[in-house]
Amino acid sequence: MIPLEHDREFYFQLLSFDEVAVNQLKPQNKSQNFLLGAFEEINNLIRGFSENDLQELLKSIESLSILEFVEEGESDAIRIFQTVNDRGKELSRMEKMKSLLFYFSDKYLDRRYDVQINKGFADIFGWYDEIKMIGEKYAINTISSDKFTEDDLFRHHHICFSQHNYDPTADEVLNNIKMCLHTLRLQKNNKDEIDKVEIDKYLSRYFNSLVGYIKAFHDVICRVKTDSAYYKLFSIQGLAVTLYPVITQLERKQFLSQLLPKRKISVLRMLEIIDLRLFKVRNYAGKKHAAEFAFCLNNEDLSRTEIEEHLTRLNSCEISNNRFKESLMNLDFHTQTGLLRTLFIDYCERLQQRQYTLDELKDIMGKNPTIEHILSQSPMFKPSALGFKHDQDFEAHVNLLGNLTLLEKKLNSSAQNGALSAKAAIYSASGFTMTTAIGTALTSKPDFQKSDLMLRGRELALEFTKWWPE
């Protein structure tokens, strides 16, 4: 049995039993990881075997029955596999789509697209594996989840391709494409024959659109490894999944790095602003507006001016600058660690008047920066002594913006519920500029009243509104 061409060379290098070569192998996708894992498991298992044990193992292997199906066409092989595999692991909707396209290519188009479909889906599954590997390595919250599968890419693409549903399930996507192809099959030309031209057009358009979409999303995610802006957006801020189709179509049209004519910022930066304002602070669902924009990008040739108009409408939807500022001042940030890390890391860059390099950002996230409460959540003081009306008044303010800063996990463990005088030295040891500034202020004035908390919150909210504008 020989693996597909993407993994073939890796497979034969494993079977070379050259220990030095095997130790130097670097898996490039999930299937190669599985191959290496299986090789190591078997190798470790038989390492302590005696000669007799090995002979018994070989006899057991030789006694196995192997059922072989030989098919010349990839599409026939897939259909047989689906039948035989019926009681095994269920095929993904992406795999079923591959089979569906093969079926129409074979039955109505003289196998015209068989080679393209085979190669295209091999690429798709390879890109998906790499997307997952990057997501797990760089802690991209959605992609690293076990729930994120190739069928999610399948769904996200369909949002751009069809307007039948702005949040379809994978089954709905499969059924929609199947219905469209079957409808075309029923159409007749002037000779009362099946109109193969329309089937050809639709199949080709869908297939090329799907492959192009997943390649573009793969290219976007790959930049997380090398570009600090993409690392910030995906690994720190955590771009909303609703915007995945939008950012992917903007990548396909090569707009992400371009400057918007009026705002003079990049399209990527504008997406970063929209995500933070609407999806993080406003908690806006936005699926309908994002889907309509993604569909428009996929089906129309938009200019930069038109792109800016679409993005501006999306950005101003539901939240003005004043409302954004008020939301920041009054938001309970108890469960908003990702949002605060984004705001605070960005703020530290502006305070030190330089941006962090990609390596510095990775180092920061590697130290697991935590959200520190200046006035501790479990206070060792009487809240009324600091200007709070009562305990409930303190509890209503403890998770507000003005009482929070960024602190390395190791230092946060030292700070815990300590007094402000003790926290001053800990803050001064932080690598975050905004936190060292608090330490310096507390050294000269070890006091932080409710009024100080409110004033700091207003100042930060105003600063963030300027940097994340409407």
With tokens 């400057």, the residue in question is: 259
What pLDDT, in 10s, does the model give residues 251-299? 999 999 999 999 999 999 999 999 999 899 988 777 889 999 999 999 9
Which spans in 114-149 are helix H? Answer: 114-137
List pLDDT tens digits, range 123-181: 999 999 999 999 999 999 899 999 999 999 999 999 999 988 889 999 999 999 999 99
Residue of 40 and 267 predicted with greater confidence? 267
Least Cα distance to 78 among 87, 69, 67 occurs for 69
Split at pLDDT 50, 70, 90, the class of 193 is: confident
Q: What is the average pLDDT value for the chain, to the nearest integer?
A: 88
Q: Hey, how many other C-beta atoms are within 10 angstroms of the C-beta on 66?
A: 5
Given a cut of 80, whether residue 28 has pLDDT beyond it is no
Tokens of 426: 């800990």
DSSP 356: P
In this predicted structure, the answer to whether residue 26 has a pLDDT above a threshold of 90 is no
Does residue 82 register a pLDDT over 70?
A: no
Q: Which residue has the higher pLDDT, 286 or 96?
A: 96
pLDDT of residue 318: 66
Q: What was the pLDDT predicted at 93? A: 92
pLDDT attached to residue 58:
78
Cα R_g (the chain), whole angstroms: 28
Residue 237 DSSP code: I
Average of pLDDT values for 432-458?
A: 93
d(CA 270, CA 265): 7
Instruction: Tell me the pLDDT band of 101, cut-offs 50, 70 and 90.
Output: very high
